[in-house]
Structure 1
């Protein structure tokens, strides 16, 4: 049997995104910031701007599932970037920034803006904008989901 993973149209996209995230991560490494990942920045900025939130509220704010955010909050807590405190009732917890992450918010905001500017610069060098490709893919997926496309190929 041939190895089906040797050829992939999917892998180059993943590898590109991984490289871009790694380069953003170097910004933190250069500044000797431990435990911070590029995937945490949006949540940390939202917590700074909107204050403590439950995991559900934070998940809604960033458009993720409760389960995904619960795992991310756990990892950010381990990294010392957030803590959880009792919420309005015994069942809920609020996620709040730690002193460590409060000190980083200005850098994170500047990095976010610099990253957006770098993406705009990169798009200007391309024959077509990456953001247009994303919009086109979203429109195609609105017509037929990725799940449905894969399922059809499995039949």
Structure 2
């Protein structure tokens, strides 16, 4: 599977690009697909960034970056956590709350489109991704590559 990473990035670019185009068609130009899971999560109530990361399956850094972008877009505000002032809690702004009906409709339409796409495939993509993530959790890619490397001269190793 040569260029697997490149092909996966291309697949993600196609998926995200087309969903972003749908947002633009709906009058939400600039709204990024990565925002939707966070906005939908925060629609249920304020959350700490760590909780956002865990609930959306991304790293703390990625969740923090997305929240920062949402703050710049005036869709989210951050405040100290009343239970622990060292943590910040994100909550939706009225501007974001006004978008929720459109985002929920888009989310449902995207889920329908994903199901139709997966029906065209010999193996559901979501299942394959889940199984791949589980396999990498059991044995990281770094270990797999390292084990496949031939013995290298001493100076060639970092």
**Normalising TM by the smaller chain, what interval?**
0.7 to 0.9
Q: Are residues 1:53 and 2:47 paired? A: yes
TM-score, normalized by length of structure 2?
0.82
Q: Are residues 1:134 and 2:129 paired? A: yes
Do the aligned residues in 2 keep the contact of 1:35 with 1:79 (CA within 8 Å)?
Answer: no
Do the aligned residues in 2 keep the contact of 1:82 with 1:97 (CA within 8 Å)?
Answer: yes
71, 75, 78: which one aligns with 1:77: 71
SS in 2 for 1:11: helix
Counterpart-to-counterpart distance in 1, 2:130 and 2:64 = 29
Question: More deviation in 90-99 or 125-134?
Answer: 125-134
RMSD: 2.0
Structure 2, gaps ≥5 residues long: 151-158
Write the mapping of 1:6-85 to structure 2, written as runs, cut at 5 A: 8-49=3-44, 51-85=45-79
| Alignment: residue pair count | 148
Counterpart-to-counterpart distance in 2, 1:53 and 1:29 = 27
SS in 1 for 2:85: coil
TM-score, normalized by length of structure 1?
0.83
C-alpha spacing 1:14/1:129, structure 2 compared with 1 (3 Å): same
- Structure 1 residue 146: Cα displacement: 1.5
Counterpart-to-counterpart distance in 1, 2:134 and 2:88 = 37
Counterpart-to-counterpart distance in 2, 1:148 and 1:65 = 21
C-alpha spacing 1:63/1:10, structure 2 compared with 1 (3 Å): closer
Runs of 4+ that moved beyond 3 A: none
